[in-house]
Chain A
């Protein structure tokens, strides 16, 4: 069974300061990991994904995440927050051990607030 835990339900940062959104996962197989973002009244958009290549993954809008197997973590970071980053972020794990039947398991989400 696979699961993902987002350690903070709400994070608030000032514009121009770093962003850290934390995620821990559990998976029986070698996982794929994703971060999705959802802006208000919009669908989910893929930020970045890890699929067993480089452990440091760069995504859109300056975000990146590092896969750390020893810590079972996949934290999302950005050096400098922008007001447009305010949104809800979901960490997602996919258990590739099930092949074509692989499903996504979502975390409960972290709402990022960016203040002036």
Chain B
């Protein structure tokens, strides 16, 4: 079974702090994704990565950056956390493009005070 793990289930940070959210997948997937989930808005794509050291902006990249130094790990960085970044963050990885299915981690609920 594919496993996507996220470093924390719950996280509380203060405004202005630098925040790292980590995601690891164990299936050698090339593509990895970061989403945020907010009530009534569904999931929105923040950033994705085709492969190591490659990244693309998603639909809402402002206030975020990412890092992919190793194939299995994809990090989301909030350079200076703000209260409007309080949300559920979901990481996903994908099988070869021809199949297109994404596998999701359990999510990190981030609260910024």
Q: Which residues of A contact B (CB under 8 A)?
A: 9, 32, 34, 36, 41-46, 49, 51, 90, 94, 96, 99-104, 106-109
Contact = CB atoms under 8 A, between A and B. Distances in A.
Overall SS of chain B's interface: strand
Interface in B93-113: 97, 99-107
30 contacts: A9-B40, A34-B101, A36-B104, A42-B106, A43-B90, A43-B105, A43-B106, A43-B107, A44-B43, A44-B90, A44-B104, A45-B104, A49-B100, A49-B101, A51-B99, A51-B100, A90-B43, A96-B100, A99-B97, A100-B97, A102-B100, A103-B45, A103-B48, A103-B58, A104-B45, A104-B102, A106-B35, A106-B42, A106-B44, A107-B42
**For the side of the interface on B, what is the size category?**
20 to 34
A13 B92 CA distance: 31
A46 B101 contact: yes
A106 to B, nearest CB: 4
B64 interface: no
